[in-house]
Amino acid sequence: MPKKIRDLIFYLFIIIFIIASTATCLYASGYKFNLSWPLEFNRLLQKTGNLNISTSPKGAAIFLNDKKQVVPGFKLIKKDYLSTPAKIRNLMPGDYYLRIEKENYWPLEKKINIASGLTTFAEDLNLFRSDLPIIISPSSESSIYLNNDNSSLYLKQAKSWIDLNHYEVNLLKGDKNGAWINNWEIFSAGQIININTKNTLDLNSLLTTKNVLNWKYDKDNNSIYAYLESGEILKIDENLNSSSEIFTLPNIQDFKQDQKILFTIEKEGEKQYLKEYDLETKKEIKRMELPSVGRYLFFANYKNDYISLYDQENGSLYIIYKNDWQKSFILTQVKDWSFINKNHLIYHNGWEIIFFNLENNSSNLISRVSDPIKKIIWHEKEDYFIFSTQNSIQAGDLKTNIFTTLFKTENIGDLALDTKNNILYFYAQIGQQAGIYKLLLK
C-alpha cells in the first residue's frame, strides 16, 4: 500500500477518534446535536434535560411522543423497555406527550416540559385499576358508612349492615340515623346495636326522664349525649351504665364538647349565636352572631385547632379557630368537603373542586366539571381523591392535576372508601341491577 494512502488512513482514524471522543464527552456532559430539519445553527448543540418518573404501583411502560422508551445500550436482537420507576437522560429540551401504560390499569396521559440542564420530576403518579365493579348486595339507595377496620358496611336508610368478609346482609331494628361507634356497634336514636351478638342496649334506661329531644354521637371524642326538653345536656358514661349532666341550656340547636369547653348554637329571639362556655364555671366565655336564616350543625374535625360548623340551609362552612375566633374562615357554596390534613381541605360547590389552605387563607380551583358533583372523599394514605357525579366516578391527583374516570353508569349514589385496601364501595344502578358495589382501585 502506498505511503500516501497509509498516511491518509492514519489521519482519517485520528479525525474519527477526535470526533467520536468529542461527541462522547459532550453526550456524557449532557449535550446533543440537534439535527432536525431545517437545521438551526444557533441551536445545533444543545444542553439536554432529564426525566425522573415513578408510579404507584410501579412497573408501568413509558411512552414519550408515542414512542416506547427503551433501556439505554446496544442490543441488536431484542430491546429491553423501560418501566417505572426510571430516569431518562439526555432528552432534548421541549414539550413532550407522556403516556404511562400498565396491564389492567387505566392509562395515564400528561404533557411535560423538559428544560435544558434540569431534571423534570413526574413522581408518585397514581395508576388506577380498570376492573369492573362487583355487586356485593342488592339494595335500595342508601347512605353507606364503613366501620374503622373496614370489615362492615352500614346502610343508613336501608337500616341494614353488610359483613364484608362474607357479604352477608343483616337487617337492623331502630331508626335510620345511626353511626358506627366502634367496629361492632352502631348507635341509633338512643340504642346501641351489637352486630355480633344482635343484642340492643337501650340507653333510655339510664335516664330519669324519657323527654329526649335528640340523641347525639360525637365522633371526635367518642361520646354519646342526650339533650332533654328541659334543656339538660346529659353525657353517657363510657362504660354505658350511667349518665351525668354537663350543662343546662334551653333553645340549643346543636352543641359540641371539647374537653372542658362546650360550644353551642343557640337561638335568642330572631338571632342565632355560636357560643363558648366553660364547663367548670358554667359561664359564657364568648359569642359570635350568625346569620339568622340558617340551620347550623357541628361536624367532626381533623384533630386540629378548629371546629367545623356547617350551615345546611345556605351551604356555608365555618372553620372556627378555637383560640382566636377572629382568625376563622367562612367558605360559601360548600356541598361536601374532606380534610386533607390539619391545615388543608378539599371541597366542591356542585360544579367545581377547590383546594383550601387554612394556614394562609388561600384557595385554588382544581377542576371544573360538566356534571353536578355529589360527593368527594380524600385518600390520606395515597394523596388522591375520589369524587362522584350522577353518572361517573373519578379519581383526581392534586400534585399532577390528572383525572381518571374509573367507571360510568346510571344513578350513582353514596361512596365509602377503604383506604387500607384501596377499595371503593358505592351504591349504583348498573343495567337492571341496583345495589352496593365494590371497585378495586389499586
Q: What is the CATH number of the domain that holds 88?
A: 2.60.40.10
Q: Is 105 inside any structural domain?
A: yes
Where do the DSSP E strands lie in 371-432? 373-379, 384-389, 392-397, 402-408, 410-418, 423-430
The gap between the terminal CA atoms of the chain, to the nearest Å, is 70
The pLDDT tens digits of the residues spanning 311-364 come to 999 999 999 998 889 888 899 999 999 999 888 999 999 999 999 999 888 999
Per-residue pLDDT, 7 = 55
Q: Is 143 left (phi over 0), alpha (psi -120 to 50) or beta?
A: beta
The pLDDT tens digits of the residues spanning 145-168 come to 999 899 999 999 888 899 998 888
Q: Is 137 inside any structural domain?
A: no
DSSP state of 131: P
Are residues 157 and 141 in contact, defined by beta-carbon separation less than 8 angstroms?
yes
Q: Residue 381's beta-bridge partner residues?
A: none
The pLDDT tens digits of the residues spanning 212-250 come to 888 999 988 889 999 998 899 999 988 888 888 999 998
Say how many domains are in the chain: 1
The residue whose grid cell reads 391545615 is 343
Alpha-carbon distance of 425 to 408, in angstroms, equals 14
Q: Is 89 inside any structural domain?
A: yes
Give the range of the structural domain holding residue 89, as residue numbers without chain letter: 48-126
Q: Is 331 inside any structural domain?
A: no
Supply the pTM of this predicted model.
0.84
Reported as type and span, the H/E element at residue 221 is none
**Residue 195 in grid coordinates:** 352486630
Q: CA-based angle 399:405:411, to the nearest 5?
A: 130
The pLDDT tens digits of the residues spanning 51-63 come to 999 999 999 999 9
Per-residue pLDDT, 116 = 83
Stretch 355-376: mean pLDDT, rounded? 92
How many residues are present in the chain? 442
Per-residue pLDDT, 146 = 95
Q: Is 240 inside any structural domain?
A: no
The pLDDT tens digits of the residues spanning 254-279 come to 999 998 999 999 999 889 999 999 99
Q: Is 109 inside any structural domain?
A: yes
Please say if the pLDDT value at position 103 is more than 70: yes
Q: Is 228 inside any structural domain?
A: no
Alpha-carbon distance of 116 to 119, in angstroms, equals 8
Q: Is 104 inside any structural domain?
A: yes
Per-residue pLDDT, 39 = 46
